[in-house]
Amino acid sequence: MAGKHYKYVILGGGVAAGYAAREFVKQGLKPGELAIISKEAVAPYERPALSKAYLFPQGAARLPGFHVCVGSGGERLPPEWYVEKGIDLILSTEIVKADLASKFLTSASGAAFAYEILIIATGSTVIKLSDFGVQGANANNIFYLREIEDADKLVDAIQSKKNGKAVIVGGGYIGLELSAAMRINNFDVTMVYPEPWCMPRLFTAEIAAFYEAYYVSKGVKIIKGTVAVGFDVDLNTNVKSVKLKDGRVLDADIVVVGVGGRPLTTLFKGQVEEEKGGIKTDGYFKTSVPNVYAVGDMATFPLKLYKEMRRVEHVDHARKSAEQAVKGIKAIEAGKTIEEYDYLPYFYSRSFDLSWQFYGDNIGDTVLFGDNNPTSSKPKFGSYWIKDGKVVGAFLESGSPEENKAISKVARIQPSVLDLRQLQIEGLQFASKI
């Protein structure tokens, strides 16, 4: 088959792709060796901005301001950077067929790309309510948020439905960040989620109680323990209201849905080993197919610290896994070895005036410390997770850079604790003295 040939191809043009490209250049890359193929129309950017500063009513973030690698304090790589480095940035190009045996990718328009080494970085896609057959889920003004195109559509709707009613479906990351963003845009906001408290995959009931009360104090209404089962539409198929399972009906000009993501592995089904919903890799992000690597959201990798295979859907891992894969590729070429990936999970979020960080693992007993009164002028609190007498995870709201560093150290070192009561009294001091 004819087609353009590259030594390295990165499939996907998101966070991991951008950080991998930078690492290739750091390690030594010749012009024409690398291509990035992305279905998005823009060069890799820091995706977290889409649910935060991109939606601000004033001074909103816009490209080229948040191209990678500014999110981790690095140099910003605008489209010109790729040209300068001889990297082919092939945008608006969706790959619809990947043949890992013959090392060929084919795009929707029929273009073919051959590679020697492939890095799969296709990330995740959103789970849609239409996937569960929710009635009316394809109506206009029901939004999901994954790519910049989605964010642009939402921004247009925010402009045209000024001061309207927004219903946010889902109580996870998107649910919490988007409820805040819509409220800041002066929408009347109602959040709906099935669980007894928000962000249950990370938050304890006590942590969630703080955020829920804070959101309520900002005017967000919260409906828990039920789900959206249908939507009413007007004559133009614009959404009019959301029907809940408990019988309630909520008026809505805009609905934003955040009910989870799913790694984009479909192109590779049956060609490569999978585990826990992602493509299985080793500690160098090599898959079961020679010369094929998988990084970011879609990699299920050995999390050395916990001796367990995990998938992580957060930006810090997308960046670091991409760098590790490229270092590994380059080390093999040079006949050298590098250390296996040794990742400390790190998640964060920001909304309203709040900002939290979490490091480690959220299993075992928990100890809450600090001021978690949502009406305090400057609440600052945290939580430790303790398993087998060791602190394995730490969460902190409104920490300074030094304090966040301290809790990350605790999660990495896993110090022993004998007395949980004492740990609660010491609170942040416990981390600061490690």
340 binds ligand NAD (CB under 6 A): no
Q: Which of 25, 34, 43, 50 binds ligand FDA (CB under 6 A)?
A: 50
Which of ligand FDA, ligand NAD, none does residue 38 bind (CB under 5 to 8 Å by kind)?
ligand FDA
170 binds ligand NAD (CB under 6 A): yes
137 binds ligand NAD (CB under 6 A): no
Q: Which of 42, 60, 61, 227 binds ligand NAD (CB under 6 A)?
A: 227
> To 10 degrees, what angle do helices 173-184 and 205-217 make?
20
Least distance CB 45 / ligand FDA (angstroms)? 9
**276 in helix, strand or coil?**
coil
- Give the count of residues interacting with ligand NAD (CB under 6 A): 24
195 binds ligand NAD (CB under 6 A): yes
176 binds ligand FDA (CB under 6 A): no
Q: Which of residues 242-281 bind ligand FDA (CB under 6 A)?
A: 264, 267
Count of Cβ atoms closer than 10 Å to residue 433 Cβ? 9
If the CB atoms of residues 52 and 103 are measured against ligand NAD, the closer one turns out to be 52
Least distance CB 122 / ligand NAD (angstroms)? 13
If the CB atoms of residues 64 and 415 are measured against ligand FDA, the closer one turns out to be 64
Strands, DSSP E only, in 276-345? 278-280, 292-294, 299-303, 308-311
Residues 6+ apart with CB under 8 A from 266: none
Distance of CA 45 to the CA centre of its chain: 13
12 binds ligand NAD (CB under 6 A): no
If the CB atoms of residues 68 and 423 are measured against ligand FDA, the closer one turns out to be 68
Number of residues assigned to the chain: 434
90 binds ligand FDA (CB under 6 A): no
Q: Which of 12, 18, 171, 393 binds ligand NAD (CB under 6 A)?
A: 171
> Cα separation of 98 and 221, whole Å?
45
Contact segment (CB under 6 A) with ligand FDA among 116-124, 156-164, 179-187, 248-256 equals 116-124
Please compute Rg for the chain using Cα positions.
23
> Cα separation of 68 and 323, whole Å?
13
- Dihedral of the CA atoms 64, 4, 116, 293 (nearest 10)? 40
Residues 6+ apart with CB under 8 A from 361: 306, 345, 385, 387, 392, 393, 411
347 binds ligand FDA (CB under 6 A): yes
The answer to whether 67 and 91 have CB atoms below 8 angstroms apart is no
Residue from 272, 255, 315 nearest 124 by CA: 315
If the CB atoms of residues 46 and 253 are measured against ligand FDA, the closer one turns out to be 46
Residues 6+ apart with CB under 8 A from 251: 165, 240, 241
- Dihedral of the CA atoms 220, 221, 226, 232 (nearest 10)? -90
- Give the count of residues interacting with ligand FDA (CB under 6 A): 35
Pairing of strands 124-126, 112-120: unpaired
20 binds ligand FDA (CB under 6 A): no
259 binds ligand NAD (CB under 6 A): yes
* CB burial readout 80-104, b (16+ within 10 A) else e: ebbeebebbbbeebebeebebeebb
Count of Cβ atoms closer than 10 Å to residue 66 Cβ? 20
**How many Å from the N-terminal Cα to the C-terminal Cα in the chain?**
59
Q: Which of 66, 113, 193, 346 binds ligand NAD (CB under 6 A)?
A: 193
212 binds ligand NAD (CB under 6 A): no
318 binds ligand FDA (CB under 6 A): yes
Site string for ligand NAD, 33-72 (x = CB under 6 A): ------------------x---------------------
Return the biggest CA–CA distance within the chain: 69
> Cα separation of 417 and 207, whole Å?
21
297 binds ligand FDA (CB under 6 A): yes
314 binds ligand NAD (CB under 6 A): yes
94 binds ligand FDA (CB under 6 A): yes
Which of ligand FDA, ligand NAD, none does residue 259 bind (CB under 5 to 8 Å by kind)?
ligand NAD
Q: Which of 179, 185, 265, 349 binds ligand FDA (CB under 6 A)?
A: 349
172 binds ligand FDA (CB under 6 A): no
Least distance CB 105 / ligand FDA (angstroms)? 8
For ligand NAD, the binding residues (CB under 6 A) are 51, 124, 169-175, 177, 192-195, 227-228, 258-261, 313-314, 347, 349
For ligand FDA, the binding residues (CB under 6 A) are 12-17, 37-40, 47-48, 50-51, 94-95, 121-124, 145-147, 264, 267, 296-297, 313-316, 318, 347-349
